[in-house]
């Protein structure tokens, strides 16, 4: 009986690790697409926090990413994900590369 419980907990733990990794890779792809769309240079991506909820989107997480718009300054944005769905981006105000007077 103890061996079966150990195997069950090992499978659950491995599944959680796999889902965390899958979500991280999906978040990085979404952030890269958004930066290409907005003509920004992506500098780094990191997971800031996560929690588990019951339901189909049981893993909620937020990711911090740094980007540059003018190759001189760096800014920090946030991506919120519920499972692999409903991405929500938050960008700070940043300067455009085309004009130093224009803010986005």
Give the model confidence (pLDDT) of 2-36 as tens digits: 899 999 999 999 988 998 899 999 999 999 999 99
The per-residue pLDDT for 33 is: 95
CA–CA dist 51, 92 (Å, integer): 25
Helices (H), ranges, 2-104? 2-37
Cβ-in-10-Å burial (0-12, 13-18, 19+) of 59 comes to middle
The per-residue pLDDT for 28 is: 95
Mean pLDDT, residues 32-57 taken together? 87
The per-residue pLDDT for 1 is: 86
Mean pLDDT, residues 59-76 taken together? 90
In this prediction the pTM is 0.81
Cα separations in angstroms, 88 against 47, 66, 85:
14, 16, 9
> Please, are residues 85 and 59 in contact by the beta-carbon 8 Å criterion?
no
The per-residue pLDDT for 13 is: 92
């Amino acid at each position: 009986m103890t061996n079966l419980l150990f195997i069950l907990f090992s499978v659950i733990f491995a599944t959680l690790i796999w889902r965390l990794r899958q979500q991280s890779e999906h978040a990085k792809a979404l952030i890269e697409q958004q930066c290409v769309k907005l003509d920004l240079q992506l500098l780094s991506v990191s997971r800031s926090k996560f929690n588990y909820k019951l339901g189909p989107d049981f893993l909620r997480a937020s990711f911090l990413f740094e980007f540059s718009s003018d190759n001189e300054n760096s800014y920090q944005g946030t991506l919120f994900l519920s499972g692999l769905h409903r991405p929500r981006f938050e960008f700070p105000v940043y300067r455009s590369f085309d004009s130093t007077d224009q803010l986005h």
